[in-house]
Amino acid sequence: MNQSPQTWLPGDHQPGSHTPSSADDDRLVLADGVLASGVRADVVLRGSVVADVVPAGQARLTGDEVVELDGRLLVPAFVEPHAHLDKALIADTFPNPAGDLNSAIEAIVDAWATLTVEDTITRAVTAARKLVMSGVTAIRTHADVIPENDSKSPEALAEVKRRLRGVCDLQVVAMAYPLTGSDSAIGRLALDKAIGWGADVVGGAPHLEHDPGAALAFILATASEHGLAVDLHMDEVLDVSVQHLAELARQTEQSGMEGKVTASHCVSHGLLLPEEQRELGRILASSGVSVVTLPRTNLFIQARGVEQAPPRSLPGLRALLDSGVTVAAGADNVQDPFYTIGRSDPLETATFLMAVAHFTVDEAFGAVTSGARHTMGLDPIRIAAGSPAELVAVRASSIREAIAEQPVDRIVIHRGKVVARTSTESWVAGE
């Protein structure tokens, strides 16, 4: 079978719709979509919100702009809560033959000696467009803020954010290191510069710091001072003795940052005994700390060389969910030294959650939609009047089928406008 994808983004001619005859009657009708409940409906958008949901065939008016969904599944748009757009698409140029985390870090440090701001902008825009085409309308990307980087990432991603305005919401995390130890002055100055470039979130990797507790305190204080959120790479090691989540929760409450802090990766949490996992989950839930799991990259890069019963390299996700922690999931790295085969599709992330973490369909889908939006501080999406018009139509009859087949055929709506459309043509011999 041959499949030829055809993709449209703003700036291209958009097939399958017509322009309204009067700007005064500015309605966009998503006609004949299938909701998650199985009901076929017309969804009317006005401006950047959902105005109405009515039975299929009842919404069209003269002058409307109409997008024919033709029975596609219409669901809330996907969210990518943890990307590294500044590193994307360099796997062939800066390989990681060993495949492990330390080798990936060494490869990216070497890469920054030759990567330019202009190149980083080009790659990041390409990677972000791939996410939008997959149905993502909100992205949180980490930006390296390290001595070897010389502020290339925050500068580049500030421009990427400008270029993608109107296509997706983009949050930039200043991932700063080192913030403690003999070189801390360099790291802290670089973080100040990154905030000056417009970073939305303060990040870092406390478990790699000379003094993890002091690094946490500095990051939380800096974020609070500038009115920013926090998103940290936490305990990304298969060492049960590396446990900093309880301290993060304690300092989050102490600093008054409840509900504004995210812990990403949290790999070593999954090595704890079940009751210890649940207890830490209760502590995190009480302090409003969300957790982002990155199953694809962590499965790829962790447990290298472990030949017998390798750990799954994930936090104790069931314990976290049962404890009331908001859990989101992301793709993490895309074709770089950390994950050389990464792909920008939240539906693929959902399949990993179901296969490896044994999530249900609803749990997996929620991790790449509602859970991820909550983590990014964004309003929830419902296909109902008054909800933000952040939607994606997928050629599938149910969420389960969409996760299973990950169809390329998608129509993406951001702030009430179609911002991407991909379709396929299929042919099989004998037809």
**Tokens at 210, concatenated:** 């000379």
Q: Which CATH number fits the domain that encloses residue 31?
A: 2.30.40.10
What is the domain extent for residue 60? 2-77+381-427
Quick check: bond before 178 cis, omega within 30? yes
Element (H, E) at 140: strand 136-145
Q: What is the pLDDT along the chain (431 residues), one digit of tens a residue?
A: 444 555 555 444 344 343 333 343 479 999 999 999 999 999 999 999 999 999 999 998 877 899 999 999 999 999 999 999 999 999 999 999 999 999 999 999 999 999 999 999 999 999 999 999 999 999 999 999 999 998 999 999 999 999 999 999 999 999 999 999 999 999 999 999 999 999 999 999 999 999 999 999 999 999 999 999 999 999 999 999 999 999 999 999 999 999 999 999 999 999 999 999 999 999 999 999 999 999 999 999 999 999 999 999 999 999 999 999 999 999 999 999 999 999 999 999 999 999 999 999 999 999 999 999 999 999 999 999 999 999 999 999 999 999 999 999 999 999 999 999 999 888 899 86
Place of tokens 């889908």: 365
Let me know: does 77 contact 136? Beta carbons within 8 Å: yes
State the total domains in the chain. Answer: 2
Q: What is the C-alpha separation between 411 and 395, in angstroms, rounded?
A: 9
Residues 162 and 43 in one domain: no
Could you say which of 375, 395, 419 is where a domain stops?
Answer: 375
Residues 123 and 218 in one domain: yes
Residues 141 and 284 in one domain: yes
Q: What is the C-alpha separation between 227 and 200, in angstroms, rounded?
A: 9
> For the whole model, what pTM was predicted?
0.93
Q: How many CA atoms lie within 13 A of 392 on its CB side?
A: 32
Residues 225 and 274 in one domain: yes
Residues 183 and 319 in one domain: yes
Q: Which CATH number fits the domain that encloses residue 160?
A: 3.20.20.140
Residue 423 burial by CB count (10 A; 0-12/13-18/19+): exposed, middle or buried? Answer: middle
Residues 70 and 99 in one domain: no
**Tokens at 171, concatenated:** 């949050």
In Å, the largest CA–CA distance within the chain is 70
The DSSP symbol for 269 reads G
Residues 393 and 285 in one domain: no
Q: What value, to the nearest 5°, has the Cα angle with vertex 180 and ends 177 and 301?
A: 40
Residues 242 and 93 in one domain: yes
Q: What is the pLDDT of residue 5?
A: 57
Residues 204 and 63 in one domain: no
Residues 200 and 257 in one domain: yes
Residue 196 vs residues 1, 27, 199, 218, 345: alpha-carbon distances, Å: 51, 39, 7, 17, 31
DSSP states along 40-71? EEEEEEETTEEEEEEETTS---TT-EEEE-TT
Could you say which of 337, 354, 375 is where a domain stops?
Answer: 375
DSSP states along 301-366? HSSTT--SS----S--HHHHHHTT--EEE--B-SSBTTBTT----HHHHHHHHHHHS---HHHHHH
Look at strands 27-34 and 40-46 and give their pairing. antiparallel
Instruction: Name, in order, each residue with C-beta under 8 angstroms of 85's C-beta and a sequence gap of 6 or more.
Output: 123, 124, 127, 128, 139, 141, 157, 160
Place of tokens 């210890």: 276
Residues 10 and 46 in one domain: yes
Q: How many CA atoms lie within 13 A of 322 on its CB side?
A: 12
> Following CA atoms 80, 84, 90, 94 in sequence, which dihedral angle do they give, to the nearest 10 degrees?
-140
Buried b (16+ CB within 10 A) or exposed e, 318-341: bbbbebebbbbbbbbbbbbbbbbe
Residue 348 main-chain phi, psi, to 5 deg: -70, -40
**Amino acid present at 213:** G
| 379 SS3 class | coil
Residues 84 and 39 in one domain: no
